[in-house]
Amino acid sequence: MSRKTEIDLFGATALTGFAILLAFNQVAIKVTNGGIQPVFFAALRSFGALFCLLLWLRWRGVSLHFPKETLLPGVVTGVFFALEFFFLFIALDYTTVARSGIIFYSMPVWLALAGHFFLADDRLTPAKLIGLIVALCGVAWALFGRDPETGGSIWGDLAALIAAFGWAGLTLVTKGSALNKVRPELQLLVQLAVSGPLLLLLSFFMGDLIRDLGPIHLAGLAFQIIVVVAAGYVFWLWLLSIYPASSVASFSFLSPVFSVIMGWGLLGEALSRDILFALVLVAIGIFLVNRPRKKIYVPQNV
């Protein structure tokens, strides 16, 4: 498919589908946590996805060469990757999919805030600043507007917030270092290679590795490895190769929306006005932060 200058019907449908996949991902993590200790589950996912990605790269004939200057930032992103999923998988052991989805998918907001200080070409515009403030209010509302009917622990919510910080840190290092010149598949490869051993080591300090393991938990693990990390990420990269990155990012506000819907529809999570209000604020904030800038036509001298 040729490069597009704007999102068409196929792109909108594909990006909406990807947002649904990210939301269902949280449901799958929460369910699978019932059979496998969360951190051990995250480690198995990294190792399994690493194997699948290596097979895919070999099939495509992609060289695994990393320039020397990318090795250190690559390891740093791997540590951030481990941090992100260490806390996300724990978060979904203690809080609801709805609350985790709202807080975790606020990542673009934290990235925009950090990018203003650390990335020269990513300053806050008035629209981004408004979006940042609105989303921050939504996250605060989700953290402190605690209706007993909706369930969830404040510790789980805070873990989801730290996971979002880890995701933002990973993206910031990638954008601000020589690593941004490396193929995204290779970036993922090093993140999986670093995070797998780290998460496995941490899992031995988090209690029994296996809980009440059943077929549904093994299916959840396979879904995470094959669909979410291996196929899902490659599909995301393919979309980025076709459509403008800013337009693709503008669809990220859908992920917390679908997380709330799926938590309610698939897991029977109760919804409150606090949760819905926080969702609206975060979704609006993310949209404003990621909204593509309007191009101004400047006539050229002839």
- Tens of pLDDT, residues 30-43: 999 999 999 999 99
pLDDT range class, residue 290, cuts 50, 70, 90: confident
| C-alpha distance from residue 81 to each of 23, 42, 74 (Å) | 19, 11, 10
For residue range 153-192, list pLDDT tens digits in order.
889 999 999 999 999 999 889 888 888 888 888 889 999 9
Look at residue 299 and tell me whether its pLDDT is greater than 70.
Answer: no
Average pLDDT of the residues in 104-133: 85
For 102-116, 236-250, 286-300, which range has the lowest pLDDT when averaged over its residues? 286-300
Provide CB contacts within 8 A for 252, sequence distance 6+: 19, 105, 108, 286, 290
Q: State residue 298's pLDDT score.
A: 41
Q: State residue 147's pLDDT score.
A: 67
The model's pTM = 0.90
Q: State residue 222's pLDDT score.
A: 95
